[in-house]
Every structure is written in C-alpha cells, then in structure tokens.
Structure 1
Amino acid sequence: MSRLVYVLNGPNLNLLGKRQPHIYGHETLTDVERDCRALAAELGLEIRFHQSNREYELIDWIHEARETAGGIVINPGAFTHTSVAILDALNAFDGTVIEVHISNVHKREEFRHHSFVSKRADGVMAGFGTQGYQLALRRVARLLDDSKASS
C-alpha cells in the first residue's frame, strides 16, 4: 500500500490564523503544512497538501488520490455539512480516510453536528486544534503499517 497521503483542506482554511482565532487558533495553514511535512518525514509518509475554496478541486484531488495514495486526511470545512459530491468521491477511494475539524463541531451550532464525510471516514478528529492533523497522520501511518504486516 502506498505511503502517500493527501491532506486536503476545504473552504476558508486559507484564512486560518486570521479568521475567528478564538475558535480556530492563531496557527496558519502554512504552519499546519510545515508540521504535517515534518511528522510525515518521521513516519515515512509522503504527503500532498492542498487547500481550495472550490468543491470541484477537492473532488479532483480525491479522484487523483484513488490512483496513488494510501490515505486521505480531509478537513472539508463547511463542505462537511453540505457535500454529497465529496462523500461520493470519498466512497470511490479504497484507502483510509480521516476527517479533521479544528474545533469541536459538536459544541457549536446545530447544523455543524451533521457530517456527510463522516459516513465514509474511518476516523474523525474534532476539537484537537491543528494537532488533529498530526493525530490523523499518525493513525493513517499506523493503519498502513498494520496492513503491511498482515500481508
């Protein structure tokens, strides 16, 4: 199984560190990417890190991952609550999918409690701040290691 992991970020995550820092913290998406790359190197993972405010781009990256990746870590942002299209794309991906949310969506507005992505995700990280990305990468690495050992 490939040790390539796509780390995908949805709408408004380009504003991380500037938008509602009382909810999302002061770290930027550049900080998150730096930390993910450093941890991936430790874990023997290769990552492709992307962000888009456009649903179709996230879907295109998920389709691309089908051909090459062992896992997807995805913070779909607001698409979490609205996108059947992203769910359908993830359902066509055979590797591990971990959903990440910086805030604890279950302590927020009622509409944030529903996730289409969770219907496909193998795990969900919510409320761990940006550290949730690192926890998700550790989980993907563990599952890849376990699948390698069992084959």
Structure 2
Amino acid sequence: MTLTRHSTKYFVNYYLPSGLIVVVSWISFFIPPEVIPGRMGLLITTFLVLVNIFNSVINNSPNVEGVTAIATWMMVCVLFVFGSLLCYAVLLFKKKSLMQFEVKNCHSPKTGHWHGNELTYIDTAFSMAFPLLFFLFNLVYWPASWS
C-alpha cells in the first residue's frame, strides 16, 4: 500500500492566498500613520479575509484531535496580520503621546521633524521585523510539516 499526499489543492486554496495576504498586510507599514482610514482599512480587510479562510480550513478539514499543520499555518498568518494591526495601534499611541507632550510644553500641536523621524523609524523597524519573522517561521514550518 502506497500513501501519497495530494497537496496542490491546499497550496492553491489556502497556503498561497493566506501567505500573500500576510505580505499585503506589510504594505501598511509604508502608508503614512496620518492616513488612518487607508491603513486601518487595509489591515482590517486583510484580517477579516484571513479569518474567513481560516474558518473555511476548519470546516473543510476532517475532525482530528490536536492541531493540524494547515491550522497552525492559518493561525500564524492571522497572528501576523493581527500583529501588524497592533503595531499600528502602538504607532498611533506613540504619536498621540508625542502630540500631548508638545501641547503640554507649550509647543505647537503638530509633529515636529524629530518626532516624525521617530515614527518613521518605528514603522521601518516593524517593516523589517515582520518579513524576517515570517521568513524564519517558514524555515521552521515547511520542513516540520512535510516530514
């Protein structure tokens, strides 16, 4: 008896779209923090689409005890997009606290050059950290899930 995996369906329907959605969520790091509707719209939309794909995976997978490899993949993808959303919340909180500090110290309530650079630095750090972490996850995931 020879058992083989037919994985093309899973790559096309689940792995590729969810991986690309995670990559699309990184575009939000290049949208200026001041463009709140655009950035939030992108992140919320990608998050909801991933949750929908994850629900589809759960509904179409056989009932097993424990967590399957594809469910792990989907959970990590959802966490990466949620992490992008949290990073934007941190950025907005930082911007708000900087503006309150300027108002409290009798400065004009607009973000100064140094503060703008600090926000850009935070966005740049996130835009480098997330792809690196996702790449490291893939280095661990693929050999472990297909062995």
- Structure with larger Rg: 2
| Both structures adopt the same fold (TM-score exceeding 0.5) | no
User: Structure 1-normalised TM-score?
Assistant: 0.33
User: Structure 2-normalised TM-score?
Assistant: 0.34
Higher helix residue share? 2
